[in-house]
Amino acid sequence: MDLAFDKRWRDLVGSLSKRFDAPLDLNGVLFLIGVQELGQHARDFKKDEKLNLMHIAICVVLGPYGYYKELGRDADGWPHFERIKELPPLVSEEQERLMKEAILAYFEES
């Protein structure tokens, strides 16, 4: 168990939860990243748009790891990505760790 990593993650989630006055988890943080990366005004999103926002976030945070690159934006301003390489086969705990590491790196660079 990596206590320093766990603390960094808890601190980030706690800070974001406080800022948005809502308890957040990994999916909530991904949603927020997707909204930020979309760059449009805050609004209510449809269910399929919420899934697309999470996809945007995943592509953005995994981009620096060489998994995705942005191709550009469509007429509505939504970014589109190309997968550059396959993600390695990971068990769920490893997938979660990778996403958390990528999210922490995203916020540390922002």
For residue 105, the SS3 value is helix
Identify the band that residue 106 occupies on the pLDDT scale cut at 50, 70 and 90: very high
Average pLDDT over residues 95-105: 97
Supply the pLDDT for residue 40. Answer: 85
Token pair belonging to 110: 């922002």
Average pLDDT over residues 17-23: 94
Identify the band that residue 1 occupies on the pLDDT scale cut at 50, 70 and 90: low
Which residues span the domain enclosing 86? 3-109
pLDDT exceeds 80 at position 68? yes
Total domains in the chain come to 1
Closest CA to 61 of 100, 21, 18: 100
Q: What would the pLDDT profile of 25-38 be if each residue is shown by its tens digit?
A: 999 999 999 999 99
